[in-house]
Structure 1
Amino acid sequence: MPPETLTPERILEATEDVLRRFGPAKATVVDVARALGVSHGSVYRHFATKAALREAVTQRWLDRTHDALETFAADSAGDAAERLGQWLDGLFAAKRRKAIGDPEMFATFMVLAGENSDTVTRHIAHMTEQLGRILTDGAARGEFVLPASVPVTARAVWDATCRFHDPVYSAEWSDPAIDTAYAAARALVLRGLTGNGPATADGRADG
């Protein structure tokens, strides 16, 4: 049987395994190549530097969250408040599952995210873009009254719920009281957006 073709996806999968075994401080490209049964030069043909490989692994990890939540952002026919609630639920569940279910890997990715701030910035932009689509649909149908422009409101929702998705708060996510706190924050966000105040033609609150 011919050897399996070396692809970027195979390299990224192997890199995650190596990071899990050795941690971000000790994992090397040579370790990744050894796990794949290839030369380290073969890895470098796909990722020019160790930093590029670590950035790609970070992006892949964050993309899983984007992909999981895209269903709610894309369902333009669904009730906007329900979609927003499901999006927030999905985000918190995904982050908590990673932090509690695989704490070693979560800690590793926190290190990698610190190395790749531009990747994290793009992640936040992607997430708030998904939020923006839900907000736009809700405002267009009169379901939401937005207090500011769509981008500003989307970022406000992101910031208002950061306790439930920002890794800096991950130590709190196993606290039994966190579900009550999350439910209160979720309800506050949804109530604020579905208020009965007068709205302008673009869906923003008047005044």
Structure 2
Amino acid sequence: MSRPLNDHDAIRTQLMDAAEDMVRARGAINLSLSEVAAACGMSQSSFYRYFASKEAFFEAIAGRWFEELNQIMEEVVASDLPPREKLFQFFARRVAVKRARFEADPNLFRANMDLGEEHWEVIRGYVDLADHYMAVVLGEAMSEGYFEGYDLDHIIAITNLMVQPFCNPFVMMDMMRTATPDNLRIVINTLFDGLGVKQAAAADKANVTALRAIS
């Protein structure tokens, strides 16, 4: 059960809600803290009683965006599912959340993606965490005999290449009709079955470029 908000928490939430309303209305560029504060009836100096810096404010906004997604990853990674199903659920459950957010408010979704691009350093840790959890699942698969002849970094790069429509929000927005659970299942099965062919590992690994997932 979530703990009840105290006054300090409630005002922090109010400030983030005000920022969200502004981003929804006019996009993410040049979001002004003084305007956010004014929308909540306070001065910019008072704003800093609730967030120590602009970076801390955007970190809190990012944390709110990623909270449910991180919880899904933790639950899936900790589950007893076999690796193939675990990797499917790792992406399927998160893409369902993102799809629902996009369909509920496409303008806000796009604006939040722009905000993330503008403040990439703030969200880098969340992206790295998603990469880490995916590596854990792929490592489990390798320990069960999948992907023989490949190293983990190579498998991570190939996986990221194949699942972009199901994890990269910018790609998802253009491929929403095809980024379906059925197609994700095909992609995951192709990954597990296709890379089960031992001789495939003889491909020129020098041409593989590491790719990052975006959550």
How does the TM-score come out when normalised to structure 1? 0.74
* Partner of residue 163 from structure 2, selected from 143, 147, 161: 161
Shift of 1:55: 4.3
Shift of 1:72: 0.7
Q: Does 1:136 align with 2:139?
A: yes
Stretches of structure 2 lacking an aligned partner (at least 5 in a row): 1-5, 204-215
Q: Does 1:104 align with 2:107?
A: yes
Shift of 1:18: 3.9
Structure 2 distance, partners of 1:120, 1:149, is: 27
Report how many aligned residue pairs link the two structures: 195
Letter paired with 2:23: L
Q: Which sits farther off after the overlay, 179-188 or 153-162?
A: 179-188
Q: Does 1:68 align with 2:80?
A: no
Q: Match for residue 113 of structure 1?
A: 116
SS of structure 1 residue aligned to 2:7: coil
Q: Match for residue 44 of structure 2?
A: 40
Shift of 1:82: 1.1
Q: Does 1:89 align with 2:97?
A: no
Structure 2 distance, partners of 1:145, 1:25, is: 43
Shift of 1:102: 1.6
Shift of 1:57: 1.5
SS of structure 1 residue aligned to 2:50: coil
How does the TM-score come out when normalised to structure 2? 0.72
Deviations 1:44-79 (A, max 9, x none): 23334445423432343134322222211122x321
Structure 2 distance, partners of 1:17, 1:6, is: 20
Structure 1 distance, partners of 2:8, 2:27, is: 23
Contact 2:84–2:141 at 8 Å: present in 1 too?
yes
Q: Does 1:24 align with 2:28?
A: yes
Stretches of structure 1 lacking an aligned partner (at least 5 in a row): 199-204
Shift of 1:187: 2.4
Letter paired with 1:15: A
Contact 1:15–1:32 at 8 Å: present in 2 too?
yes
Contact 1:84–1:131 at 8 Å: present in 2 too?
yes
Structure 2 distance, partners of 1:206, 1:22, is: 51
Percent identical among aligned pairs is: 22
Contact 1:19–1:108 at 8 Å: present in 2 too?
yes
Shift of 1:158: 2.1
Question: In 2 relative to 1, CA 80–98 (structure 1 residues): closer, same or farther, beyond 3 Å?
Answer: same
Letter paired with 1:169: V
SS of structure 2 residue aligned to 1:45: coil
RMSD between aligned residues: 3.2
Q: Match for residue 194 of structure 2?
A: 192
Question: In 2 relative to 1, CA 197–148 (structure 1 residues): closer, same or farther, beyond 3 Å?
Answer: closer
